[in-house]
Structure 1
Amino acid sequence: MSWIAHATPTGTVTIDWIVTSIQSFLSSLGVSQHGHTVALWLFFAGCGVLQLCLSFLVCTPIERYWPLTSWSPRNPIAADVAYAFFVRLVLFPLVAFFEYSWLQQQLDRFFLAHSISPPSLTVLVPALASWPLLVFFLYFAILDLSDYWRHRLSHRYGWWYGVHSVHHAEDQMTFWSDERSHVLEDTITYLWLIVVGLLIGVPAFQFPFVILGFRLVGSMAHSNTRISYGWLGDHIFISPRFHRTHHALKAAGRRSCNFGTALSWWDILFRTAKFHDSTVETGDAGAEPAMVTGSWGEQQAAGFRRMVRLARRARKADAAKVTS
């Protein structure tokens, strides 16, 4: 199977066995048409839900027993929960595996037709072929670096921040807040990571697990907890305290910092890190109420309206500069 060709031998056997078992079970139920595709979908959807459950099992106790703050009354989180399961069951398998795998196959065919070696870290540095776990970590780190710049740019351009502010509008931040996002921003994020993944040759099998790694760290980073990773841990991974500074009410929009997704290295390297802030209050004063407590549809509509407003404001500002 080409989709697991670059996995470790143990991983290849394990995943192949799981997918084959799912396909056999589907056949026993009379689902034979497109059985392999359905089995792959169920496998990756299952991995997505498993990551969500792991985040719940880890983050719920620390938010309960070591909370940073509390609220009365609590904002509804039904929209975030529903969207989290929708992403894991539908968008994640569709985009992170099937779309990525299809695009990679098309790219490989193009390179083969033109006698060009497909882009890959192991082609660039052949010695890495003997270190599959190191290669996976390098893929993770490079994609995290690219997502750092995507996130930083989303705070730089007004129209982009308009949709990104759906995420920043949350004034009662918990681990579920990681799931709060505008569909347009999700589209940009996936396309951004897919392009970078293809350019560095991330195998189709590994790409979804890099994304799940980001989501796992992201859930913890959004937790309402006073737990710290310690000096060393905070300088490696994005901790709840570090990321809460990014969500500070006073740091909305271009004034923000701490843009990293999983690793805090990039903020340190590019001088956007702020470690010693004691942020408690989060949110965005410019966000309309629908972004904060509205339903999923109301949040999406409000984000689109703000995107349009900020884009128009930017055009007027540019026109004023030209005429002045």
Structure 2
Amino acid sequence: MTETFNRILDSITGWIFEMIVQPAMYDLGLMDWAEDAVDWIQFGLFGVVTIIVVYVVCRPLEAWRPVEPVTDRRAIRTDILYTLLTRLGALPLVAFVLLNSLSAWWAGTVADSGFVPPTLETLIPGLREMPILAFCLYIVILDFGEYWRHRFQHRLGWWWALHSIHHAQRQMTFWTDDRNHFVDEMLAALWFGTIALAIGVPPGQFPLLVLVMRLAESLSHANVRLSFGRVGERLLVSPRFHRLHHGVLSTADHGKNYAVLLPVWDWMFGTADFNRDVYPRTGDPEAPEALATGGWLRQQFIGLKRLAGAIAGRPGY
């Protein structure tokens, strides 16, 4: 599964580089950067694939059975801009550089020390012969990490100052998943990447892991009246389950339903609400109006201002 996905991604990347990018780099005398260019093309191409997969899955569901009618298309367009910048713009380039640097530092540190850090496959050697089971275990561990990152976003005042941008959206759709401050995005990328490195996620499986997690997160934000039933709601996060998190249960200090993919973490740590009949209005009533209706640049500026206020301990932040 992962091999087929990566083979297709590599083939398209190679074609784009050879037919479009390489000739231009040769003319400009930039061939010393050829290897980095290939990596960046693949990174950007993966962003395109992610957007397409999410749109194909989520858009028909929103058209089929929306929770609420669309009343603010401008807010949705702002969320689309967030997605494009996050998946295709400068933000993924920064994340790519940071994660590559982290990976290189980790590899160098391990090599210099002579210490071989344990990974899932060294702790459980049989996983090498069961790639599908290994893939599922990686998802479970990464999802556990995402649950706690989300809780910290609500519990730590300075982090909530950034994350509140995400919760200010009143017209929630699957595009809302990427509605985050760029500093928050960098922290999330480092958090996720560090855990992946620590447990030894194979590079070949990493893109597909990210795709699965992104699809789950986007679906959970979709404007669709969809519940997975009494049993299913306890196995996978549904749009209804996560909508409660963005509704009346969404506050800086007393949130519920933090899970990204597996609700079991909310159940284990006492933060679950399985009320299947509720589809609340979304949006943080305490957030500045500009966080709900302002443009991308305005929201980013306010996020930085609120972050500085929270770190300084000023009232109201």
CA contact (8 A) 2:17 2:41 kept: no
**Matched residue, 2:56:** 57
Partner residue of 1:88? 87
Q: Does 1:259 align with 2:253?
A: no
Question: Unaligned 5+ residue runs, structure 2?
Answer: none
Conserved? CA contact 2:98–2:190, under 8 Å:
no
Q: TM-score, normalization: structure 1?
A: 0.85
Task: State the partner residue of 2:179.
Answer: 180
**Native 8 Å contact 1:170 1:284 kept in 2:** yes
- Alpha-carbon distance between aligned partners in 2 of 1:95 and 1:213, rounded to the nearest angstrom: 22
1:97–1:204 CA contact under 8 A, matched in 2 = no
Cross-structure match for 2:292: 292
Amino acid at match of 1:147: E
Whole-Å Cα distance in 2 between the matches of residues 238 and 145 of structure 1? 13
Matched, 1:196 2:206: no
SS of residue matched to 2:105: helix
**Aligned counterpart, 2:239:** 240
Q: Distance in 2 between matches of 1:67 and 1:252?
A: 24
Change in CA separation of 1:204 and 1:104 when aligned onto 2, cut-off 3 Å? farther
- Aligned residues of 1:96 and 1:211 also touching (Cα < 8 A): no
Are 1:303 and 2:303 an aligned pair?
A: yes
SS of residue in 2 equivalent to 1:197:
helix
Cα distance, 1:40 vs. partner?
A: 2.5
How much has 1:98 moved relative to structure 2? 5.0
1:22 to 3, 9, 16: 16
Question: One-letter code of the match for 1:56?
Answer: Y
Q: Across the two proteins, how many residue pairs are aligned to each other?
A: 311
Report the Cα offset of residue 166 of structure 1: 0.3
3-state SS of paired residue (1:47): helix
Correspondences of 1:101-116 after superposition (within 5 Å): 101-116=100-115
Tell me how far apart the structure 1 counterparts of residues 250 and 191 of structure 2 sit (CA, whole Å).
25
Change (3 A) 1:103 1:65: same
Instruction: Report the counterpart of residue 230 of structure 1 in structure 2.
Output: 229
Confirm or deny: 8 A CA contact 2:10 2:42 kept in the other structure. no
Question: Percent identity over the alignment?
Answer: 36
Q: Indicate how the Cα distance of structure 1 residues 214 and 27 shifts in structure 2: closer, same or farther if over 3 A, else same.
A: closer
Q: 1:8 to 1:63 in 2, by over 3 A?
A: closer
Using the TM superposition, give the Cα deviation of residue 15 of structure 1 relative to its aligned residue in structure 2, in angstroms.
4.8
- Report the counterpart of residue 3 of structure 1 in structure 2: none
Are the structure 2 counterparts of residues 44 and 315 from structure 1 closer, same or farther at C-alpha, using a change threshold of 3 Å? same
Contact between 1:96 and 1:207, CA under 8 Å: does it hold in 2?
A: no
Query: 2: distance between equivalents of 1:203 and 1:17?
Result: 20
